[in-house]
Structure 1
Amino acid sequence: MDLKETLMTLEEKFWEASSAANVDLIRSYLTDDALMVGTFGVLNKETTIAVNQGQPPFSFWHIENEPQILQLTADCAVILYKATAQREGREQFTVMMSSTYVNRKSWKLAFHHQTLLK
């Protein structure tokens, strides 16, 4: 599996974990110093876990375009893509996503940014 496939597999697992409010998987997936940025503000690892608890599942989510990858070092890369999703009982949304992964014995998410598209 090449780096792009590896990172997209992790992205898909994160979508699934978020949909299922699987906080144990989310916890194992993030670096200890992870940060998330979006319309919700800036969240650290623990607040990311807390806001995922009790969330309704996604009715659907899908990636809209061919993801791009920017490999910064042998152990650090950013994956970028556009996605559309909807949680049960909520409005559909489309976002541009960028996720920065670091390889610390395994690939983990260190930084994630979402830009809401209107």
Structure 2
Amino acid sequence: MRKYKNIISTIGRNKLSRCTDAEGRTFNREELINSWKESYHERVSRNEDEVGLRLPQFGALSAIRAHWATSNSPATIVLPTGTGKSETMYATIISERIASSLIIVPSNLLREQIFEGARHFGILP
């Protein structure tokens, strides 16, 4: 799996145009999104020792997919504190290969946390 260190955005549109990995190789938007297909392997962890989505995260991701299978209207997913809402968001973006997303958060601190997590896609690897 490639590690993407620097994300370069086009300033006027704020859309990802290319990405540079740790070795300095540059990839365009399509190559980056296509790499998610190869790099993302969905696993569900049954205990804390396993790597993968926790059951509430997998349930939320399944609910999102079920909703999108029948509708394109907005929906709300509610998860309790500490269940991994951010990682669920990242998993949705990667597994569904969503090219652009708008994430709205209520505070600057949370905005910074979400940005840092999205830069590295949380704990998904």
Give the alignment's TM-score, normalised by structure 1.
0.25
Which protein is richer in helix relative to its size? 2
TM-score by length of structure 2 reads: 0.24
> Which one has a bigger Cα radius of gyration?
2
